[in-house]
Every structure is written in C-alpha cells, then in structure tokens.
Amino acid sequence: MNTRGRLRRMGAACTAVMLMAAVSACTPQSIIDVLSGCPGTASTPDGTPTDGRQVTVATAPEGALGTIEAATNGDVTENMGTTETMNRYRNGTDVPCDTYPDGQCTWWACMRGRRLGMDVGQYWGNGGDWASAAAALGYEVTTSKPVSGAIVSFPPGVQGADATYGHVAVVEKVDSSAGILLISEMNVKGFIATSRTLPIATGAKYILPKTGEGARAGDTPASGGKAEEGRTGTQTVQATATDTRSDWECGASDVDTATGTPHTATIEYAGDGRHTTPDEAKAIARRLIIERYKEWDPDSEFDALVWVWEHESGWRWDAENPTSGAYGIPQSLPGDKMAAAGDDWRDNAATQIAWGLSYIKQRYQSPTGAKVFWLKNNWY
C-alpha cells in the first residue's frame, strides 16, 4: 500500500476489522463493541450468525443481463483494480472519496457513483449505513424500484454482506420485468471491481439519483417501448431464501435500586462510532448513560441530554461553530479537549459523547443541570 493509503483514516469500511484495543469495562470502545455486534453471538466465516438469526441469500440467472462491460460501455471491466479506477475516473486521484479506504466497497461506490453523477458524501459511514445517510440528505430510498445509476446499500447479513458493516454497490442495469439487476462492486473477491446479477427484492435499499444526477440508460423496459423504471412484472425471479435478519439489537439494562424496576434501552446500531447519524449517536448516548451514570434517571436525563445537544449541534459529529470553533456533538471548545476521551475525537461520535457526558457530570452534575443553565444563558 502506498504512503497515502497507509496514512488514510480507516473509518468507513465494509469489512474492516474493528479496533480491538485493550479496554476496561464500560469504556466507549467496549460499549461500541456491544453496539456493533453483540459479542457472544458468533458467526460463520461467511458472516452468517450462528445464534438463529437469518440472512437473505437470493440468486438470479448469471449473465441474464449480459456483461458488466456491455452494460457500462466499457467504463467498468471485470477485475479492474484500484489504480486503474483512479486513473480512469479521477486522473490518478480519488478526492473526495479518499475518506474511504482504497479497495473497500464504500470507496468503489463513492468513485463509481460520482462517475455517474451522484453527489456521494464523504462521510456516509459503513456500507449498511448509506441508505439512512443519503435519506437524511434528501435522497429517495426504495426497496423495490431501483434504476441504473442508483447505489444499493445492503444491511448487515443481506446477500452475503458483512454481518456487522453491511455492503454497498452500484446498480448498472435493471430489468424490472424480470425483477433482476446487475451491480458493480468491490472487495467481494479482493480489491478489484466485479459484478453480480441479483433479484431486486432481497431486502437491499436503493438510493435513487436526484433529478439531474446519475445515469439510467441501462434500464430495460418492463413491457415494450418506453422503460418503466422499477415496475415489477409477473416474471420476478424467485429467491432461494427469503428470510431476512433485522439490524443488530443489543439491550442495555440495570435495575433501579429504589423500585427494583429494570431500566432497559433497546439499541439498534451497526458501526464503530465513526460518522454516525444523529439517531445512532443518540443510541450510543442512551447506552452510555445506562452503563456509566447509574445515579441519573435514564429517561429524564436522556431527554434533557437530547434537548441540549440538539440545540448545540443537532447531534452531528462534525458540527463546527464558524465563529468560536466549538466542535462535535457536545460542542467542545476547543475541540481537542475531547482528546482526553480518545485520539479519534474529531470523527468518532462515541468518543465525543463519552467526553461530553463526563464534562456535564463534572460541571453540572447531570444533563438536567446543563439544560437549566443553557436556558438561562443560551450556552452551557
């Protein structure tokens, strides 16, 4: 790997191994380990959970939509590597896709998606997170009406996607009458571009180009003449298995010492804390409150925290005040104070939240105290 590749941040990968640092109980990383995959629920080498949860695995006739070369007029070729991709698409560079590790599915989807005209973001997260990230930016997301030039996000476990990170690819051709499509992807057979023909209905999520974006020339008419994008005909290819697994679900609970009533929070989050959506950040905060701040009421204090940080940053990990320079979800000033919680403070929501909760505890005793102060002063 070249120097640039070695130095690159490894945040949003499809199959990257989570950082397994030596940590004590209830550190941010230990919480994220649980949120990311419920340790103890082992999986087979192909990513299939062994605890009874199921994955979607569906097939379609290989080659039914022709070759990837024909579908893209030679713009994508089987086994095209990262260097060729950069030279062909970005004249030897991959900015702004350099936030994704070279050769990963996220990098390919960014490079190829932008090649087709989509304004793919630099921080859309892991492959399985792309649909929610894109939806938050106004993209239409569908599970049944893909078009060529769309991006397809596979939730964890679907169609062989990594059981924690999911997968992402690009739709190159669609035959809505037959209910099948052709995708291009990377890091399925190594750091090379490859293709697959799949049924449309597999549990995947399709991010549609906005008006003026993308390329739809590969769509095949559903019934002679003009293409009817996304129409489902009567000859839909049957999946070999149709069961799907839900997102990771981990529970965090403790018992109220006064009443004996369990406090329970159901967490639905897949990722390592980096580049989270606001809802994912809130799930992390909820978990940390229950695990680390047992003296706080988990409901009222969480509600107060949501209010404060909604007003401060909208729960965006990259929020930055252009005037003061305050940064991150808790709006630390200066931002590098959060390094006390981890050297990945700049782009890891979990690290920011851990620091922010500690700050609130030390200065205001609780999120409610921070909210009371904020209401009086318009800051905290």
For 186, the enclosing helix (H) or strand (E) is strand 180-186
Classify burial at 75, counting beta carbons within 10 Å of its beta carbon; exposed 0-12, middle 13-18, buried 19 or more: middle
Quick one: how far is CA 259 from the chain centroid? Answer: 38
Say which residue the tokens 């620091």 belong to.
Answer: 355
SS3 174: strand
Among 168-172, 173-177, 253-257, which is the least confidently predicted range? Answer: 253-257
Residue 76 has pLDDT above 90, yes or no: yes
How far is the C-alpha of 29 from the C-alpha of 21, rounded, in Å? 8
What digits encode the pLDDT tens for the residues 130-141?
999 999 888 999
Classify burial at 258, counting beta carbons within 10 Å of its beta carbon; exposed 0-12, middle 13-18, buried 19 or more: exposed
Instruction: Give the model's pLDDT for residue 247.
Output: 27
Residue 296 has pLDDT above 50, yes or no: yes
Q: State which amino acid sits at residue 74.
A: G
Residue 7 has pLDDT above 60, yes or no: no
Residue 57 has pLDDT above 70, yes or no: no
> Per-residue DSSP letters for 298-322?
TTHHHHHHHHHHHHHTTT-TT-B-T
Segment 269-279 mean pLDDT: 76
Instruction: Give the model's pLDDT for residue 214.
Output: 60
Segment 31-44 mean pLDDT: 38
Neighbours of 233 (CB within 10 A): 13
Segment 220-230 mean pLDDT: 35
Residue 306 has pLDDT above 80, yes or no: yes
Residue 262 has pLDDT above 70, yes or no: no
CB < 8 Å & 24+ apart, contacts of 229-234: 229/145, 229/147, 229/174, 229/176, 230/142, 230/144, 230/145, 230/146, 230/147, 230/174, 230/176, 231/145, 231/176, 231/177, 232/144, 232/176, 232/179, 232/200, 232/201, 233/176, 233/177, 233/178, 233/179
Residue 68 has pLDDT above 60, yes or no: yes
Segment 41-48 mean pLDDT: 39
List the helix and strand counts (H, then E) for the chain. 10, 10
Instruction: Give the model's pLDDT for residue 283.
Output: 85
Residue 77 CA: distances (Å) to CA of 63, 67, 147, 181, 372: 14, 9, 20, 17, 60
Nearest Cα residue to 278 out of 329, 309, 320, 315: 315
**Portion of the chain with pLDDT greater than 70, in percent:** 68
SS3 for 189-227 is CCCEEEEEEEECCCCCEEECCCCCCCCCCCEECCCCCCC
Instruction: Give the model's pLDDT for residue 62.
Output: 77
Instruction: Give the model's pLDDT for residue 94.
Output: 78
Say which residue the tokens 């030596």 belong to.
Answer: 22
Domains and CATH numbers, the chain: 68-220 (3.90.1720.10), 273-380 (no CATH)
Cα R_g (the chain), whole angstroms: 22
Contact 313, 320 (CB under 8 A): no
Instruction: Give the model's pLDDT for residue 216.
Output: 44
SS3 250: strand
Neighbours of 4 (CB within 10 A): 11
How far is the C-alpha of 371 from the C-alpha of 42, rounded, in Å? 42
How far is the C-alpha of 37 from the C-alpha of 354, rounded, in Å? 20
